[in-house]
Structure 1
Amino acid sequence: MDLLTALELTLRKARAHGGVVRGLHESAKLIEKRVAQLCTVTSQITSSLLRLSALITTSTCLLFQVPRPSANGLLCKIDSEGNARKVVGCSCLVVKDYGEDTTALNIVKKHIESN
C-alpha cells in the first residue's frame, strides 16, 4: 500500500467518526487546544501556513505535506463508494479522532516519524 492510499483510508475512517476538520481557522483552534493528532498542509506556503506550522511544532500534532491544495480537497471529500466529489482546494485539514487503529494509519505515522 502506498502512502497516499494509506492517507486516504485514514482520512476516510476519521471522517466516518467525525474527526476531520477543514480550513485554516478551525485547524488552528484545534491545534491550540492540543486536540489535533494529524495535520495535512499544502506545500505552497503562505504566511498563514507558516504561523500554523510554527504552532504545530509546539504541539504533539503530526505534520504531513501534500503537493497542492486540490490534493487536500480530494482527500477530504470522498463519498461512500470512494470517489472524490465536489473537490475544492483546502489549504489545511486536521484529524482530531482517527476512529480506530488500522494498518493504513500505522503506515502514515511511520512515514511522518521517519521524515
Structure 2
Amino acid sequence: MASEGDAVAAPVPVPETVEVAADAAKGPLTIEEALAIVLRKALANDGLVRGAKESIKALDRKDAELCVLCEATEEAGIVSLVEALCNEHSIRLIKVADAKKLGEMAGLCKIDREGTARKVVGASVVVVRKWGEESVARTTILEHFSS
C-alpha cells in the first residue's frame, strides 16, 4: 500500500505493434519470389518432399500439388521421369535453373546469425504435398498456371 508521501508511478503507454504478413510485398511477386514463399510455408506445415527418390514416390502416389524440378540435374533419367509423372497425373510443374537455389528455397541449408544461407545442398526435385496456409504467393503461382 502506498502511504501519503509515496509517489505512484503512472502507467507507461505501450506502443501498438502491427503484424505484417510475411508475403506482403510492395509490388507484384515474381514467380521465383512466390515459389520461395510457398516452399517455406509448405516446409513449415510438413507438406514438402525433398530429394529425387521421395519426390518420385509422392508423384507416383498422386500425392502432390506442385512439383519443382531443376533443369540442370545430372541424371537425365530423373528429368524425363518427373516430367512424365507430372504429365500423366496432371500435376503442376515448375522448372528452375539452379539446384543450389532450389535447395536453399527448400530449406536444405544452414542459416547463420546474419540470415545468409551457408552449406547449401542442391536439390534436383522438390514436391509440395500440402500448401499450408492461403497466401498471395500461392495465388500468384496458381494464376501463373491458369494463364
The TM tier, using the shorter chain, reads: 0.7 to 0.9
- Structure 2 Cα separation of the partners of residues 95 and 82 of structure 1: 24
Deviations 1:40-91 (A, max 9, x none): 0012251221111111101131100001211211111176x96434311100
Tell me which of 1, 14, 18 is aligned to 2:42. Answer: 14
Deviating beyond 4 angstroms after TM superposition, the runs of 4 or more aligned structure 1 residues are: none
TM-score by length of 1: 0.88
TM-score by length of 2: 0.70
Structure number with higher relative contact order (C-alpha < 8 Å, ≥ 6 residues apart): 1
Report which of the two structures shows the higher radius of gyration computed on alpha carbons: 2
Q: How does 1:43-62 map to 2 (within 5 A)?
A: 43-44=71-72, 46-62=76-92
Select the structure that is richer in helix: 1
- Percent of matched pairs sharing the same residue: 34
The equivalent of 2:146 in structure 1 is 113
- Structure 1 Cα separation of the partners of residues 116 and 41 of structure 2: 15
- Structure 2 Cα separation of the partners of residues 20 and 64 of structure 1: 15
Contact 2:71/2:79 (<8 A) preserved? no
Q: 1:65 to 1:113 in 2, by over 3 A?
A: farther
- Structure 1 Cα separation of the partners of residues 115 and 47 of structure 2: 18
The equivalent of 1:34 in structure 2 is 62
Q: How much does 1:5 deviate? A: 1.2
Contact 1:63/1:112 (<8 A) preserved? no
Question: Which structure 1 segments of 5+ residues have no match?
Answer: none
